[in-house]
Amino acid sequence: MAFNDLVKQALTPALNLYGAQAEGVTVIFTPRDFSGPQTIDGIISPPPLEEQDLPEMAGVVYFFVRYTDITPNPKIGDKLSIDGATYNIDRVKVDIQTNAMLYLRKES
Amino acid sequence: MLRASDLINTVITTLQSITDFVTAMNGAQNIKAHTFQDGIARSIIDDIYQMTSPSTLVVYEGTMGGNFDAKTLWKHMVTIYMKAANVATEQNPMGYEDLIWMVVNGPVNGTSLNIRQIDLIPGKLRTMETPSIIRLADQTGTDFFKIECVFPEIGDAS
């Protein structure tokens, strides 16, 4: 089995346990290519600075996803809706195991 | 010395009178002040970090005191922080280069003059000094810009 497949196999239970869907949070991904919105899963991760007003006021969210499981792959400028609040993808950090941390900023 | 909150409020209403800038900020309500009120306001680092997209934050940075030209005792420092909108799907995308141009050159208060050409508070403030524009990166590594402004006070206003 390829290493990336092993990583995916290891991460699947973590996503099932700690993912947004397991927490009852709906995350809708809207790519900039107008291919249409889709529901995705991922893990809301600690941002670089803790915020004083949570959760509805969170200005910055880090969202861990299985990058290659999402088609099209998330890019800067795509949008995510987390429980109804819209966030823009400011940065995408893809690792060698084809996971990604999406840096999200809330839209005004 | 002029009350700094009066200056900040005036800077905000002036920015809110620049039509194109308000459109770019997705409404005048997204051009806001940071206040230093213990127990009410967040720290400045939190306020800048949590700025939504697009938005503008006007911050009082302090006042230089001195006898600058025998008629000016105070120079008030105000910084305008900006987070641009996501323009990924726009046909004519606007970036910080355009936003900065709007703030510096856009006509204000229903006149044909820009913010650099008017006395923001007549009788109390002189025309602002030429602002500096600086690129920054926030804690996530995302670029944004600030405009540093200096407003000399006329004499010792109240």
What are the pLDDT digits (tens) for A15-50? 888 888 888 889 999 999 999 999 999 998 888 777
Say if strands B74-83 and B55-65 run parallel, antiparallel, or are unpaired: antiparallel
CATH entry, B4-152, from 1.10.3470, 3.30.360, 2.40.128, 3.30.70: 3.30.70
What are the pLDDT digits (tens) for B65-77? 998 888 899 999 9
Residue type, B149: C
The alpha carbon of residue B105 is apart from the nearest alpha carbon of chain A, in Å, by 24
Are B157 and B1 in contact by the 8 Å Cβ rule? The answer is yes
Are A16 and A22 in contact by the 8 Å Cβ rule? The answer is yes
Residue the block writes with tokens 């606007």: B94
Q: For residue B58, name the pLDDT band (cuts at 50, 70, 90).
A: very high
Q: For residues B113 and B26, what is the distance between their CA atoms, to the nearest angstrom?
A: 23
Question: In sequence order, which residues have a C-beta less than 8 Å from that of residue A50 and are 6 or more positions away?
Answer: none
pLDDT at B114 over 60: yes
Q: For residues B68 and B66, what is the distance between their CA atoms, to the nearest angstrom?
A: 6
CATH number, domain at A67? 2.40.10
Q: For residue B104, name the pLDDT band (cuts at 50, 70, 90).
A: very high
Across chain B, what does the average pLDDT equal?
A: 94
Query: E strand or H helix at A8, and its extent?
Result: helix A3-18
Length of chain A: 108
Q: For residues B85 and B20, what is the distance between their CA atoms, to the nearest angstrom?
A: 13
> Hey, is the C-beta of B27 within 8 angstroms of any chain A C-beta?
yes
> Hey, is the C-beta of B149 within 8 angstroms of any chain A C-beta?
no
Query: The domain containing residue A26 runs over which residues?
Result: 3-106
Give this complex's ipTM: 0.83
Count the domains in chain A: 1
Q: Where are the domains of chain B?
A: 4-152
Question: In sequence order, which residues have a C-beta less than 8 Å from that of residue B10 and are 6 or more positions away?
Answer: B120, B121
Contact between chains at B88 and A76 (C-beta distance less than 8 A) = yes
A vs B, Cβ pairs < 8 A, gives 67
Contacts of B141 in chain A (CB under 8 A): 91, 103
**pTM of the full predicted structure?**
0.89
